Structures are given as structure tokens and as C-alpha cells.
């Protein structure tokens, strides 16, 4: 092995570390699902400009000796400088799984490089260059190799969580699921039940089976009386898997909408999956469902397997908000069940529905009306879920988390109902919806029409849904000068800074992860 080839190999190893980090980051953002990762990878990212440039560098190295070493070293320096500057909305989380994936990835590259050096002769540099270009597939091979290990580790964690929760006698387990509204409902319910009980909730977005397992193993203690479990789903049986572990006796279904259609295929599968929570409840359990959600109201079931309570704003229900009044300070309403008046600083009909679900369960568990009122008056909006803040005379409505057609429509209604002075604007910043399968273009076009009806100015972010959203806006008659097409969130914010003035209202609706452009 000559010194030039060895130098090329060392430089290649440094480049590979950068590429492996990026590949694993995108894989993590794809929920470690091969199908979602391939949707990002094909066709635009298999050989990106960066990867193609790397291959050119190594071809040059293969043919040009010492001169190419300087060139390829320059490529490495540029790549590292770019990596240090590159900012992601969601950074790579170095979980134990990621660390194991990194280790296997590096071992595979080392094996390829070693084999090339000792077996490929003068072709070694070119072989190593190709391994850099196709590092995506080396990473996927590393994941395949690690799969049995990950399954064994997860099985151990599952059995340990099962042991812990089965030993906790008398624990009240409440499941909360829905296409949207579940995180807010979970937090509002926890705030109200904390007036009487010692409550544990699954934190943040720990709404997968592994997230629930982690919460049980790390946080559930003998003194907890109520465990509120947020249950997310991206495919059938996801909710059932969580229910089989925690065995809820109370279940809330907040909404059913067109979310994750790429994996669910149709709304009927979404309906069935969300109702896996209700189907899991015992005969003495309680199901609480929002019948303002048309796909909940229309869901056909042979019979109720337990007591059911229905809540709504616009429909007749067991728990209904009437005489609703919105103001800059929030909302007040009368509860049809008891005639009592409640007040909250939360915004939007979606949050009002979430409060009703919390009241229904609080009544069932014996929390007094006055304690409920006190807790509801103190509730704070969940971050990025139609939370409001004022800065420099500008009102910012942050609904940037995991948007969907129904939730976006509710948020736009809130924007529309904000009173602004003459000369001020209602502005929306949005990239639209993703993971909606064949419905994606149509849903984003409908979003554009809602934007034209509710906003004075629109900033459409990224290319993913640009054409569909803009066509809906244009068809609805919004002037072209009232629409700005931004290539990134940073560009959108820069442009926003040039048009904002005190008295304007800005709605941030959804925020695509970094693996969508």
C-alpha cells in the first residue's frame, strides 16, 4: 500500500463519518422505517450533488496522485465546515440505538476500506470513493444487521415495563388517542386530575410503544394514582400494542382525521386503529369520544363494550359547551351537563373540545366542580399547538406541530377572528401537510383555499406542497403579490421581517422535518 492511497483512505474515513451522521439523522427523522427513508432517498438523495462531487474527487485521486490528495483534502475541509454550519430544526438524538447503528456502520466501512486496500490494488481509491457515494445503503445494511439485537433489547424492556405496571395495584390508567388534540388533552386532563390525584403522564411525544415503555421504567412510582398515556399510531395495531401493555380502564378519542394516510392507506383504517383504545376497555371502563369529529360520529360499531360519554361544541352530546364567548383573554362557556360557567385562557374550538374531554373524565373520577374550574383557569397552551405570544406589538400564533387538515382549518378560523386595525395583516406561514398519500395534493389545495378565506398574506415554505397550496390560493382569488414562496423556513422568516409591523397577527401552521424539502 503506497502512502498516497493510505492518505486517501484516511481522508475518506473522515468524510464517511460526516456522511454516516447525516444518513443516520435522516433515518431517525424517518422513524427508523425503511419505507419512509426510501421515500426521502429516492429519487433526489441517492446521488446528491455532495455525493457526486465526492465521487469526482476520488476519481481524480485515482488518476492523479499527489495533486489529487490536495484536492480531496480540500473537499474534506469544505465538507466539515459546511457540517459545522448546517442547522437542523430537529437535531440528531444520540440514543443508544443511534450509537449502536453508528458503531456497526463504521465497522462496515472499515471492512470495505480494508478489503479494498488489500484486494483491489490500484482500484482501492475508487472503491472507497464509491462506498462514500452509496453510504446510505451501508447504513441500511448496518440497521439490518442490528435488527435482531434491537428486537432482543426491546423485548427485555417490554417485559420489564409489564412487570412494573402489573405490580402497581389500583393504578388508574387513562389512554388518550386521536389524529390530533391528544397531547393537549393529555396535559389538560393531567392539570385537572392533579387537583385530587398524584398523576403521571407520558412526557412530550412519548406516544409510541417504546416511549410508553421508557416512561414506565424510568418514571412510574408506587405513589402514582393515575397514569395518563398518550397513544400515537402510524399503522393498524399500534394502539392495541400499547393497550395490551398498560390495560387502560378509561379511554379518550379526541378526533379522527386524514393523518398518515401513506401508512394507513384509507380513513377507515384510521378509524379502526383509534378505536382500538375503546375496544380494549373493560366492561366497567369508560370511553370518552368527540362527536364533533365526523369520522368518530360516523364510526359503526356493533355495540358499546363499556359506558360511553360523548362531548362536542357543535353537536348534541353528554358534555357540550354552550354560550361560547371568545376574547383576547381566551374563552368562556357554559357546560350543558351542569349549567356551570367555565373560563380558560386557551384559544380555539379545538382546545375547547380538549377541555370538555378533561371535564368528563374529572367528573367520572370525582374531582369537584370548583377544583375543575380552578385548574381550567390556570391551564397553559401546549407549545407549538396554537399557543399565543405577543412580541413587539405582534401577535404570534404557534401551531407548528404536526398539522392536519381539520386542525389547520380550526387554527385559520382563530386567525380570521382576530380583529386587526386598518393597515394591519393576518399572515400565515406554512409548508402544508405531508404523509397523506394520494390525498396530499388535494388536501394542500384545500388548505390554500382556506388560507385565501382567512388570511391577508401567505408565506408558503419549501417545495414539497408549493404548487398545490398556491393553486388553491390562486383559484380563490388571493392576489399573487399577497403570496411569497420561500425555499426554507429561514428564508420565510427573513421575508417576514421585511413586511411585519406592530398590530399584525402571524400564524405558524406546521413545520416539516428536515427530511422534507
| pLDDT at residue 321, rounded to an integer | 95
Give this prediction's pTM: 0.77
Length of the chain: 517
Tell me what pLDDT residue 165 has.
Answer: 96
Which among 467, 473, 511, 471 has a CA at the least distance from the CA of 490?
A: 511
Start and end residues for every CATH 3.40.1190.10 domain found in the chain: 168-378
* CATH superfamily of the 387-509 domain: Mur ligase, C-terminal domain (3.90.190.20)
Average pLDDT for consecutive 10-residue bins of the chain (517 residues)?
65 79 86 80 57 58 54 56 60 91 94 81 71 85 95 96 95 95 93 97 90 96 97 91 97 86 79 94 96 90 86 94 81 93 87 95 97 94 75 84 76 84 90 78 89 92 86 90 88 89 89 56
CATH numeric code, 168-378: 3.40.1190.10
pLDDT at 97: 93
User: Kind of pairing, strands 319-327 and 457-461?
Assistant: unpaired
In this prediction, residue 122 carries a pLDDT of: 64
Give the β-pairing of 330-335 and 341-344. Answer: antiparallel
Cα distance between residue 119 and residue 5, in whole Å: 13
Inter-axis angle of helices 3-29 and 135-166, nearest 10: 40
Classify residue 477 as left (phi > 0), alpha (psi -120 to 50) or beta.
left
Strand order in the sheet with 172-177: 199-201, 226-231, 172-177, 250-253, 286-290, 307-312, 319-327, 330-335, 341-344
Per-residue pLDDT at 178: 93
- CA-to-CA distance for 289 and 86, rounded, in angstroms? 44
Say if residue 13 is exposed, middle or buried (CB neighbours under 10 Å; 0-12, 13-18, 19+): middle
- Give residue 347's pLDDT: 79
pLDDT in the model for residue 331: 86
Query: What is the pLDDT, as a whole number, of residue 62?
Result: 54
Domain span(s) for CATH 3.90.190.20 in the chain: 387-509
Q: How far is CA 329 from CA 346, 358, 389, in A?
A: 8, 21, 12
- In the three-class reduction of DSSP (H, G, I as helix; E, B as strand; rest coil), residue 53 is classed as helix
Q: Are 338 and 368 in contact (CB under 8 A)?
A: no
Task: Report residue 96 CA to chain centroid gap.
Answer: 21
Report d(CA 328, CA 346) in Å as an integer.
10
385 touches 494 (CB < 8 A): no
Position 54 scores a pLDDT of 60
Phi first, then psi: give them for residue 427, nearest 5 degrees. -120, 140
pLDDT of residue 246: 97
Q: Residues 111-115: contacts with CB within 8 Å, 24+ apart?
A: 112/138, 113/9, 113/12, 113/13
Amino acid at each position: 500500500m503506497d502512502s498516497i492511497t493510505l492518505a486517501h483512505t484516511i481522508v475518506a474515513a473522515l468524510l464517511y463519518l460526516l456522511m454516516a451522521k447525516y444518513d443516520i439523522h435522516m433515518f431517525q427523522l424517518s422513524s427508523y422505517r425503511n419505507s419512509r427513508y426510501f421515500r426521502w432517498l429516492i429519487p433526489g438523495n441517492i446521488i446528491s450533488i455532495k455525493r457526486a462531487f465526492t465521487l469526482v474527487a476520488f476519481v481524480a485521486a485515482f488518476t492523479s496522485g499527489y495533486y489529487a490528495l490536495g484536492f480531496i483534502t480540500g473537499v474534506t475541509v469544505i465538507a466539515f465546515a459546511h457540517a459545522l454550519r448546517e442547522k437542523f430544526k430537529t437535531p440528531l438524538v444520540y440514543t443508544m440505538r443511534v450509537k449502536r447503528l453508528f458503531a456497526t456502520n463504521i465497522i462496515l466501512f472499515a471492512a470495505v476500506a480494508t478489503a479494498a486496500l488489500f484486494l483491489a490494488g490500484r482500484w482501492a481509491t475508487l472503491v472507497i470513493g464509491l462506498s462514500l457515494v452509496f453510504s446510505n445503503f451501508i447504513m441500511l445494511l448496518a440497521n439490518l444487521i442490528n435488527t435482531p439485537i434491537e428486537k432482543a433489547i426491546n423485548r427485555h424492556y417490554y417485559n420489564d415495563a409489564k412487570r412494573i405496571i402489573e405490580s402497581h395495584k389500583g393504578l388508574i390508567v387513562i389512554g388518550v388517542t386521536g389524529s390530533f388534540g391528544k397531547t393537549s388533552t393529555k396535559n389538560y386532563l393531567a392539570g385537572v386530575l392533579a387537583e385530587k390525584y398524584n398523576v403521571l403522564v407520558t412526557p412530550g411525544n412519548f406516544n409510541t410503544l417504546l416511549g410508553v415503555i421508557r416512561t414506565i421504567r424510568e418514571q412510574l412510582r408506587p405513589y402514582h394514582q393515575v397514569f395518563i398515556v398518550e397513544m400515537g399510531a402510524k399503522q393498524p395495531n399500534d394502539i392495541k400494542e400499547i393497550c395490551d401493555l398498560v390495560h387502560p380502564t378509561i379511554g379518550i378519542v379526541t378526533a379522527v382525521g386524514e393523518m398518515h394516510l401513506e401508512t394507513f392507506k384509507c380513513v377507515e383504517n384510521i378509524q379502526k386503529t383509534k378505536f382500538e383504545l375503546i375496544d380494549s376497555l373493560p366492561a366497567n371502563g369508560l370511553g370518552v369520544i368527540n362527536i364533533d369529529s365526523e369520522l368518530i360520529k360516523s364510526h359503526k360499531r356493533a355495540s358499546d363494550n363499556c359506558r360511553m360519554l360523548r362531548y362536542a361544541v357543535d353537536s348534541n352530546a353528554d358534555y357540550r359547551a354552550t354560550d361560547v364567548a371568545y376574547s383576547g383573554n381566551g374563552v368562556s362557556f357554559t357546560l350543558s351537563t351542569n349549567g356551570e360557567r367555565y373560563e380558560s385562557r386557551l384559544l380555539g374550538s379545538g382546545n375547547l373540545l380538549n377541555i370538555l374531554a378533561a371535564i368528563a373524565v374529572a367528573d367520572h373520577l370525582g374531582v369537584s366542580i370548583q377544583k375543575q374550574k380552578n385548574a381550567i383557569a390556570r391551564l397553559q397552551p401546549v407549545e407549538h399547538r396554537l399557543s399565543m405570544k405577543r412580541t413587539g406589538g405582534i401577535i404570534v400564533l404557534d401551531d407548528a406541530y404536526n398539522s392536519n387538515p381539520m386542525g389547520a382549518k380550526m387554527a385559520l378560523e382563530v386567525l380570521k377572528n382576530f380583529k386587526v386595525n386598518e393597515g394591519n395583516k393576518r399572515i400565515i406561514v406554512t409548508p402544508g401537510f405531508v404523509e397523506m398519500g394520494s390525498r396530499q395534493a388535494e388536501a394542500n389545495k384545500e388548505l390554500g383555499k382556506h388560507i385565501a378565506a382567512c388570511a391577508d398574506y401567505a408565506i408558503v415554505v419549501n417545495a414539497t406542497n408549493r404548487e398545490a397550496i398556491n393553486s388553491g390560493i390562486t383559484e380563490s382569488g388571493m392576489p399573487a403579490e399577497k403570496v411569497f414562496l420561500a425555499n426554507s423556513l429561514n428564508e420565510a422568516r427573513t421575508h417576514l421581517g421585511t413586511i411585519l409591523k406592530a398590530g399584525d397577527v402571524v400564524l405558524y401552521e406546521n413545520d416539516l422535518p428536515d427530511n422534507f424539502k
